Structure 1
């Protein structure tokens, strides 16, 4: 990596960054509501987004700087095992087609803003609602941090990031500026800001990928040479582990880990608070159904993005540099291969690809805190305006927490912290998804199952080591009774579900109080405009 500033690339990056910053502040005027101090408006964009806005918002929400930096970095570092993200996004959409429309319908009927709102209404349990809310908040923090890692990687390669100064303030100043801008327009415009910026973000990413998948192989001698060079590089023994660096295919002994990680990640993907927030911003049930059928287009893009990891290996990025940060591999590849002006566009795609989801994530976490902790436990009579003001403040606090997290963490293993969040979110599946289809589970049994899954998953994740970390160094461990190495999150989920089933049988036999369900069977299939349900909001003129 060069230590001088790439002036042309930096100039292009700053241009796009300033452009989306202006868009972020102007978004407050887009689809403006009469009363902006309401969580439906600030936190859900007025529940007014149609198919295309929701598609870009969900795409911007789910395919992030993690996609552009960490997934290819995992492949750069270990080979084919990093491709787990491709099958898991393919598996996810048939699953979410079954339950997301039901979540939208019941939430629209009852005015739920978060998944914990639904849990409180479905099971009549504040304890269970708070448990899921806290899970969502703590799982979102490392995900936001991962977006900041993406921005920091770009700044490092541009020559203005943390690797080019020993003064802590100077080296982190560009990241602090980016963070400040993000915090300001999110506070001002709410969910409308990332929804509007997502159009620019996705357009840039598609342009960069279309060029990269053709131009980079052309410069490197074709895919045959890329795979040959990558295979040779992976065969070299890693002195830290005594094993080959990686492989072009998933080794037989790693297939259980690969499959369980893909399956567990697919189950958790749309239960993250930011995913739920984007879904609930849609204006109709059919908007959600249509999106689950067209969002797989992003999986094609993800597969092409993943290939960049092989290209970085073939280009020799980081070769011979001890302790090279794999998160820098793709930005460095772009600077090595592309003309400076197009490298700037690619860097802007990564940077904006971090800003959009980071904004949505902070809003989602703030909504969870406001509705399901602040209001439910401390201020039950809080007005909508008070809720919105608190949520705005908390969105800033969440970003500060993520910033502290990223400035103090080991950035070479950033993906493991996000995967830890996946382990936690997976433990909400029995409560949220189960609650959408059945009232059989007892609320206390679900709470006990959640606690068991969280405790086991966190303990096992903490117990994993790697050459760079004493703890939280991986996401796979031996599966009890099977003896295979598998994803910790899925093992914890099985334990969670088993506890919930057994205790439900016991509690029902003891006739323990089940709580009040404020929903009815028809609530899960209603469409906007039906009797007793608010009509779709009209499209603003010129939208």
Structure 2
């Protein structure tokens, strides 16, 4: 397939503009370093806590509207085995942001934490915090792989450019400006990227609807329940458990990302952090509507009337690439090029956030706390940059050759849903939980999740829940096994913590048996109960963006 030169030039110009904005953001970061009272590493991580509401909403929304969200939603709507009822990203992410603003933003921001793992460090100490870093890091790497795979497939179809080259170039641009400017570069580029995504995707919609190859959707199999390829989809009672499991995974698992709390903690006050979450709940839903429409149009199209021909994409195993295929064959060429630009923008807006979140966790909670307690600010900044580079390379390596963007999208949130979400709920809202309960809950959650199997990683299914079935030599669990693992972890944390507290408070065991020193941790308790007295002062002193 020949390379589409005008389209390639357009994408290169877009990349250069994004890189220029990222570099400008890095200069803005250096200016803030001179004015702000915070350390340089904290400015890179939370932007000096002076990100205003509008910028916060843009960067929060752009982080979640990634390649996985855009292409995964279109793939779900188009796939005959799923349909619109299985496009769970829109409602799930809206629920996630609403719950984040209601229950998580204020407890995190009012304590002036720097990362999501800070409350764990205060309560449980260094060792367990380092353990929690592993699932967070793996999840971010899978997230990077997901969004890069989405971009590689899109560029290879519309521009005729090798997916390998597309992935490498896009990763390099995103890594470079994140490397240079930290949160400021990420936030400013997110504004441009989100605006471009919104305009370009909505511009594609009329051309798709008016395409000669697309039938009137009321005459498609969507309203004929005897057909299995209805874009509306159907939900059998046997699939209800799997549907609920995926919805809760995306909604509650989204509350366990450092990228979310990076924006919450960068707000000027707790109230502003909550407003940012509530507003993002609406904008992220709106940003997913064009992907739904693209999936519907692709399912309603007669592909024999296009250059793609027969059989249709699903039968060829191209459902994961349905968005770029629809843009290529159902719209004019220049519209398809705009569509690829929107995917590229979505990829970079999410990738830079994932890179910075992992780098922030490692620098703040591992390197600075465990390895180099007296490290200089210059040293910490370089640790952030090197971490950005390493996470980016790891995610880029996993992006090659994966056909299903939706599968990687789900998998990226799987681990933190089971391992981190119940821990975060307990550490923020249950002051009496302790290290013993946290460790037991962590082990139980991961054990149950591992025994449930994971075909994408080649993990065999040992624990088979009611309703399981075998499809193409793969065990499919229709029971909400991820949620069972998460709830088991949550129950274990609270039950073991209550039991241990009971034992030691009633002196059933001597205090010397408290090997983890978890019962009388006065310093940590004091930190947890620190009142929210800093928000208004910080808001007045810091320079707004």
Which residue pairs with 2:233 in the alignment?
248
Residue pair 1:157, 1:332 contacting (<8 A) in 2 also = yes
CA distance in 1, matches of 2:42, 2:50: 10
Tell me how far 1:524 sits from its aligned partner.
5.9
Q: Describe how 1:145-160 pairs up with structure 2 within 5 A.
A: 145-160=145-160
Structure 1 position 10 matched with structure 2 position 8:
yes
Which residue pairs with 1:285 in the alignment?
270
In structure 2, relative to structure 1, the CA distance for the partners of 1:69 and 1:115 (3 Å cut) is: same
Which residue pairs with 2:450 in the alignment?
458
2:411 paired residue among 420, 423, 428? 420
Residue pair 1:226, 1:310 contacting (<8 A) in 2 also = no
Find the residue that maps to 2:87 and give its secondary structure.
Answer: helix
2:298 paired residue among 305, 309, 312? 312
Structure 1 position 61 matched with structure 2 position 63:
yes
Residue pair 1:234, 1:247 contacting (<8 A) in 2 also = no
TM-score, normalising length: structure 1: 0.85
Q: Describe how 1:369-388 pairs up with structure 2 within 5 A.
A: 369-388=362-381
Find the residue that maps to 2:479 and give its secondary structure.
Answer: strand
Tell me how far 1:439 sits from its aligned partner.
1.0
Which residue pairs with 2:120 in the alignment?
119
Which residue pairs with 1:239 in the alignment?
none
Query: What number of residue pairs does the alignment pair up?
Result: 508
Tell me how far 1:266 sits from its aligned partner.
0.9
CA distance in 2, matches of 1:333, 1:71: 14
Find the residue that maps to 2:58 and give its secondary structure.
Answer: helix
Tell me how far 1:493 sits from its aligned partner.
0.5
Tell me how far 1:154 sits from its aligned partner.
2.1
Structure 1 position 99 matched with structure 2 position 103:
yes
In structure 2, relative to structure 1, the CA distance for the partners of 1:501 and 1:223 (3 Å cut) is: farther
Which residue pairs with 1:166 in the alignment?
none
Which residue pairs with 1:446 in the alignment?
438
Find the residue that maps to 2:51 and give its secondary structure.
Answer: coil
2:20 paired residue among 19, 22, 36? 22
Tell me how far 1:306 sits from its aligned partner.
2.2
Find the residue that maps to 2:3 and give its secondary structure.
Answer: coil
Find the residue that maps to 2:211 and give its secondary structure.
Answer: helix
In structure 2, relative to structure 1, the CA distance for the partners of 1:216 and 1:74 (3 Å cut) is: same
Tell me how far 1:480 sits from its aligned partner.
9.8
Stretches of structure 1 that go unaligned for 5 or more consecutive residues are: 163-170, 237-243
Tell me how far 1:452 sits from its aligned partner.
1.4
CA distance in 2, matches of 1:291, 1:124: 30
Superposed CA offset, 1:244-278 (max 9, x none): 79862223321222123212321111321211212
Q: Describe how 1:474-485 pairs up with structure 2 within 5 A.
A: 478=465, 485=478
In structure 2, relative to structure 1, the CA distance for the partners of 1:332 and 1:310 (3 Å cut) is: same
Residue pair 2:101, 2:275 contacting (<8 A) in 1 also = no
CA distance in 2, matches of 1:334, 1:131: 44
Residue pair 2:71, 2:406 contacting (<8 A) in 1 also = no
Q: CA RMSD in A?
A: 3.0
TM-score, normalising length: structure 2: 0.85
In structure 2, relative to structure 1, the CA distance for the partners of 1:537 and 1:201 (3 Å cut) is: farther
Residue pair 2:48, 2:266 contacting (<8 A) in 1 also = yes
- After TM superposition, the structure 1 stretch with the greater mean CA deviation from structure 2, 29-38 or 339-348, is 29-38
Residue pair 2:222, 2:231 contacting (<8 A) in 1 also = no
In structure 2, relative to structure 1, the CA distance for the partners of 1:234 and 1:177 (3 Å cut) is: farther
Residue pair 2:320, 2:406 contacting (<8 A) in 1 also = no
Which residue pairs with 1:389 in the alignment?
382
Structure 1 position 267 matched with structure 2 position 268:
no
Tell me how far 1:488 sits from its aligned partner.
3.0
Superposed CA offset, 1:220-240 (max 9, x none): 58784377156779936xxxx
CA distance in 1, matches of 2:495, 2:76: 39
Residue pair 2:96, 2:281 contacting (<8 A) in 1 also = no
In structure 2, relative to structure 1, the CA distance for the partners of 1:247 and 1:203 (3 Å cut) is: closer
Superposed CA offset, 1:160-213 (max 9, x none): 433xxxxxxxx6233222222222111111111221111121112221333334
Structure 1 position 90 matched with structure 2 position 82:
no
Residue pair 2:42, 2:48 contacting (<8 A) in 1 also = yes
In structure 2, relative to structure 1, the CA distance for the partners of 1:63 and 1:344 (3 Å cut) is: same
Superposed CA offset, 1:120-176 (max 9, x none): 11x1422221122222111111001111112202221134433xxxxxxxx623322
Which residue pairs with 1:235 in the alignment?
227
Find the residue that maps to 2:180 and give its secondary structure.
Answer: helix
- After TM superposition, the structure 1 stretch with the greater mean CA deviation from structure 2, 353-362 or 493-502, is 493-502
Tell me how far 1:88 sits from its aligned partner.
1.2
In structure 2, relative to structure 1, the CA distance for the partners of 1:269 and 1:144 (3 Å cut) is: same
In structure 2, relative to structure 1, the CA distance for the partners of 1:372 and 1:73 (3 Å cut) is: same
Stretches of structure 2 that go unaligned for 5 or more consecutive residues are: 469-475, 505-513
Q: Describe how 1:192-203 pairs up with structure 2 within 5 A.
A: 192-203=184-195
Structure 1 position 491 matched with structure 2 position 484:
yes
- After TM superposition, the structure 1 stretch with the greater mean CA deviation from structure 2, 44-53 or 250-259, is 250-259
Tell me how far 1:328 sits from its aligned partner.
1.8
Residue pair 1:48, 1:537 contacting (<8 A) in 2 also = no
In structure 2, relative to structure 1, the CA distance for the partners of 1:185 and 1:234 (3 Å cut) is: farther
Structure 1 position 173 matched with structure 2 position 165:
yes
Which residue pairs with 1:296 in the alignment?
281
Superposed CA offset, 1:46-98 (max 9, x none): 22111000000001111111121122112222323531222212322332122
Residue pair 1:424, 1:489 contacting (<8 A) in 2 also = no
- After TM superposition, the structure 1 stretch with the greater mean CA deviation from structure 2, 176-185 or 415-424, is 415-424
Which residue pairs with 1:339 in the alignment?
332
Residue pair 2:245, 2:483 contacting (<8 A) in 1 also = yes
In structure 2, relative to structure 1, the CA distance for the partners of 1:308 and 1:537 (3 Å cut) is: farther
Tell me how far 1:536 sits from its aligned partner.
4.5
Which residue pairs with 1:33 in the alignment?
32
Which residue pairs with 2:202 in the alignment?
210
- After TM superposition, the structure 1 stretch with the greater mean CA deviation from structure 2, 315-324 or 393-402, is 315-324
Which residue pairs with 1:241 in the alignment?
none
Superposed CA offset, 1:3-36 (max 9, x none): 2323333332222222112111121122532359
